[in-house]
Chains A and B, each alone.
Chain A
Amino acid sequence: MNFTWSDAAYFWPEAIMALTFIACVLTDLVTRGRRHGVTLSVLIAGTVVSLAMTVIKAPEASHYVFGQMVVIDPFAHFFRYVFLFVTLVTAVFSYSSREIMGKDRENQGEYYSFLAVMCFGMMVMAEANDLLMLALSIELVSITSYIMAGYARFSLRSTEASLKYVLWGAMSSGVMLYGASILYGLTGATGFSAIREGLLAGSGSELALLVGMLFVLAGIGYKISAVPFHFWTPDVYEGAPTPVTALFSAGPKAAGFALLIRFFYTSLVQTDGTGGVTLLEGIQWPWLLAIMSAVTMTWGNLAALRQTNVKRMLAYSSIAHVGYLLMGFVLLTQAGLQAILFYLLIYAIMNLGAFLVVIALNNRLHSEHMDDYAGLGYREPILAGAMTIFLFSLTGLPPTAGFVAKFYLFAALVDSQLWWLALLGVLNSVISLYYYMSIARSMYFTPATETGGLGLSRAHVALVVILAVPTLVLGLYWSPVKALADSSLAFLLGG
């Protein structure tokens, strides 16, 4: 147990988020829960300081902290940016949401403390280097998610969402811990790299290894909502307050991918020194994951086709996007992983944007039904225009960021000559075009029943535009962001 302050200094952004959580709780107590604007300011201040620390103290190599439980490397560093960005955006648009901050709601101040602790949990998920830390960080994010899903506690849908989430989550955590215990039994270690050494030394039963890995995969699969562990997703996404849904679709999903990549690449993979990697043991992981990816995107897209509730549609579309992301994971190449990281960042921006429009409309229309969006193209031209950009980007049409992100994914697939999966991915994108565009069609080509603007606050519209700009700009000029994503993988693959 070597605890050194110099390595611990790299843990500052996380420590600050933990402190922010406590500060938010205290602020809410001191103000007796009546001034939730103050709590929001505390959260934003904490997040900004954490972001500043992230920028100042960028790790140039792998730093192991807390007895190798946590590793801080450029890979985790990249995800910090994603999580802090998601937290900031969610915090701001939660404040403008009727569903959470409405006059008839309770405990608004407490809500922000959950955002802080969720951000902390996600950051630790991307840094976990030990089975114990893996379980702990997933639980931290999950338990916070259950509370947030049920935040509108007098809404039946929200409470139902929360309960379903708890039941699924408890089951998945149990299965995952069981798998972890099997891995520990086989290798005698809980650290990811120690597990690899145990496997290299010969682990004995191949069946036990398969079962253990599958169970851990199930736990992570639940977090990223990959088919067949996705059943909770549509109900929870539909029932939870919209800002919370937006957070779920961008934050914990990215954290799940970070964990998946780190776990697989540190414990199961052997690098050959030239950037290529080979898998340990004889199990056909790529095949298993390729099938999972194909099923996930197809299922998500086909189910989304039939939805008329925009929130539920976006839930299924988020499942489909997990399928696309898994395509990059299957390849076991550097290009594939780089594409995933880039895609996750772009996905966070465009998906948050789309949800932000849904929140803005829900504030006025009190509905997420597609028919109620009729004629919005003329009633709220800026909002509808931004929504169209987000939808184009989610489909992957040029000149948006979504196109570039998808292009890198498919390029990586074609490089590895995995033709059938690439073809399936393209077909799926075509399917997704139909349902994304049906929202746009409703906004522009269905006549409105009422006329006149919705009277949305300028700040809200400005926020939507702020997210629409990078969605467009990154579609034309993306090289700095891509370079950041690429460089963040160096130490993970280097050994």
Chain B
Amino acid sequence: MHQQFATVFVFMLLGLAFLFVSQIASKLLRPKNPYAAKQQSYECGEEPEGSPWIQFNVRFYLIALFFIVFDVEIIFMLPWAVVFNEMLGTVGPLAFWEMFTFVCVLLVGLAYVWLKGDLDWVKTIIARDDDELVNRGLSRYSSGDKLGKPGLGASEYV
């Protein structure tokens, strides 16, 4: 039984060896010419500015959550799709309708995020009164939004 793990061990050793050998080899072979522009995070494109430790918009996390819903769907569907041909003769209809139900349930999830307006990047928040806006450090945004109620616009999300 332990013989099987020997393969894994050799694989790990080879992996480590590859890492170090390639790093050392390139260190020995490459020319070395550092200057200020080259030491930047990105050699081309945007110039980095300030600390990267800033507050991210919470909507990034929401988008990540929606992504997971559909990501998981695919994870479950892929193995099903692979063996579906073999199942056709036996439990084919059952397997088909099971997956159909599963996708329908996830569709409810899609309908939910859509109707709740979470697929729009700029979401309207309905504030209940001025005090609450002040407490949350926000100001009233008065351009006409969809519901015609006082809300907060894009400024909060920049």
Point out residues on A near B: beta carbons under 8 Å: 3, 22, 25-26, 29, 32, 104, 154
Contact = CB atoms under 8 A, between A and B. Distances in A.
A26 B128 contact: no
B128 A22 contact: no
B112 A29 contact: yes
Contacts of A29: 111-112, 115
Contacts of A104: 128
Contact of B112 (A3, A25, A32, A154): A25
Interface string B99-117: 0000001001001100100
8 shortest interchain CB distances as A-B pairs: A29-B115, A22-B108, A25-B108, A29-B111, A25-B112, A104-B128, A29-B112, A26-B108
Contacts of B105: 22
What class of interface size applies to chain B in its complex with A?
under 10
Nearest to A28: B112
A319 to B, nearest CB: 34
Contacts of B132: 154
A32 B126 CA distance: 15
Given A3-B94, A154-B132, 12 more contacts: A3-B91, A22-B105, A22-B108, A25-B108, A25-B112, A26-B108, A26-B111, A29-B111, A29-B112, A29-B115, A32-B115, A104-B128
14 contacts: A3-B91, A3-B94, A22-B105, A22-B108, A25-B108, A25-B112, A26-B108, A26-B111, A29-B111, A29-B112, A29-B115, A32-B115, A104-B128, A154-B132
Contacts of A22: 105, 108
Nearest to A23: B108
Contacts of A25: 108, 112
A29 B91 CA distance: 35
Interface string B7-36: 000000000000000000000000000000
Is chain B's interface secondary structure helix, strand, loop, or mixed overall?
Answer: helix
- Which of B91, B105, B132 gathers most chain A CB within 10 Å? B105
Nearest to A154: B132
- Which of B91, B94, B115 gathers most chain A CB within 10 Å? B115
A167 to B, nearest CB: 17
Nearest to A5: B94
A29 B111 CA distance: 8
A154 B105 CA distance: 30
A29 B105 CA distance: 14
B14 to A, nearest CB: 27
Interface in B74-117: 91, 94, 105, 108, 111-112, 115
Interface in B45-64: none
Nearest to A103: B128
Contacts of B111: 26, 29
Interface in B101-148: 105, 108, 111-112, 115, 128, 132
Nearest to B115: A29
A9 to B, nearest CB: 15
A5 to B, nearest CB: 10
Nearest to B126: A106
A26 B105 CA distance: 11
A29 B128 CA distance: 21
A32 B112 CA distance: 11
A25 B108 CA distance: 8
A25 B104 CA distance: 13
A109 to B, nearest CB: 12
Nearest to A1: B91
A14 to B, nearest CB: 15
B90 to A, nearest CB: 11
Contacts of B128: 104
B110 to A, nearest CB: 11
Contacts of A3: 91, 94
Contacts of A154: 132
Nearest to A29: B115
Nearest to B91: A3
A123 B114 CA distance: 31
- Which of A3, A26, A29 gathers most chain B CB within 10 Å? A29
A154 B136 CA distance: 11
Nearest to B128: A104
B53 to A, nearest CB: 21
A26 B111 CA distance: 9
A154 B112 CA distance: 22
A154 B128 CA distance: 11
A29 B108 CA distance: 10
B101 to A, nearest CB: 10
Contacts of A32: 115
A378 to B, nearest CB: 37
A26 B110 CA distance: 11
A104 B128 CA distance: 8
A98 to B, nearest CB: 16
